[in-house]
A = this chain, B = another copy of it.
Amino acid sequence: MKIQESAENYLEAILMLGRSGAPVRSVDIAEELGFSRPSVSVAMKNLRAAGHVEIDAEGYVTLTERGCEIAQTMYERHVLISDWLIFLGVERGAAVRDACRLEHYMSEESFLAIKRHIENWKSEIYQQRS
The distance in angstroms between the C-alpha atoms of A101 and B114, with both chains bound, is 16
The distance in angstroms between the C-alpha atoms of A114 and B88, with both chains bound, is 7
Asked if A29 is an interface residue, CB under 8 A from chain B, the answer is no
A38-94 CB contacts (< 8 Å) to partner B: 85, 88-91, 94
Asked if A122 is an interface residue, CB under 8 A from chain B, the answer is no
- A91 surroundings in chain B (CB, below 8 A): 109
- A97 surroundings in chain B (CB, below 8 A): 107
If A90-B113, A98-B106 are given as contacts, then 20 extra A-B residue pairs at C-beta distance below 8 Å, sorted by A number, are A85-B113, A88-B110, A88-B113, A88-B114, A88-B116, A89-B113, A89-B116, A90-B109, A90-B110, A91-B109, A94-B107, A95-B110, A98-B105, A98-B110, A101-B105, A102-B102, A102-B105, A102-B106, A105-B105, A121-B121
